Amino acid sequence: MTDTPLIRPGEVAGWPKLVLRYPTDPSCIAALLPPGLEPWGDPVVQIGVYCVPVQGRPEYGISTKVPARYDGTDGWYSLGIGIDQESAIFISRETNGQPKFPCSVTFFRLGDRVEAAAEHQGTTFLTFAGAVTGTLVPDGEERAEHEWWIKVSRAVGGGPGYDYPPHVVEVRTAGVLTHAEVLDGQPVFAPSAWDPYTELLPMTGPATAELVTTRHTARAISVAGPLDPDAFAPYADTIGGSRWPGERGAPPVPTRGFVA
């Protein structure tokens, strides 16, 4: 007997995740972090493209994170999670501050070729095509990771202040890497006002790409602590449900002229 769940051919549960990492300007990461969070480690952007079962059907998604430390703990600040299931977008933001927004995601493997794409507001802002070039040998060790979301509700009527002031939400996950493959390929970003990677997190060097499978052993979501409400005010307005800086839910006026 084994405690590893049976994954039948074609079943969504157990799909690997495409993990892309690329270097960027450290000042760009610092500019996106609200006061109370600070950069740590290498200035990298981590993008995960995935398909997992949610509400009884497959959910395709794309997540974007940058390294950030809160209250002495190293983790990842989530800038956005684009998904194709509307049912999970608003409830996730309301309850936990998860920065979800509607996004059409393509992700598949055919033989040794892996392809992915993400489209939002009429622009396919990310494409990836790569081939498997090798396999990594997992060490079998359990590892924990911390991810930071922001839960906040501004005052009714648009006046100053908050109905619920900004708090950092900690997502602690633990798991064991069971399989990983190295891919030869580079993500390509298209300029988009709604997903401003090329403007706010430009690539400064080549990316790495891996296809990883993890056996998750724990996940906990909790309030980690408050942020200074006055210092957070410039970061409160975002593009849609993401944490990209915006203006009344749309891209800032100077860049809104982009064809998106």
pLDDT of residue 69: 98
Q: Quote the CA–CA distance of 160 and 153 in Å, as a whole number.
A: 11
Per-residue pLDDT band for 7 (boundaries 50, 70, 90) equals low
pLDDT of residue 10: 67
pLDDT in tens, 114-167: 999 999 999 999 999 999 999 988 888 899 999 999 999 999 987 789 999 999
Task: For each of the domains in the chain, give its residue range(s) and CATH number, in order of start.
Answer: 17-250 (2.40.400.10)
pTM to 2 decimal places = 0.91
Q: Six-digit token pair at 181? A: 């493959």
> Which string of b and e fits 119-144 if b means at least 16 CB within 10 Å?
bbbebbbbbbbbebeeeeeeeeeeee
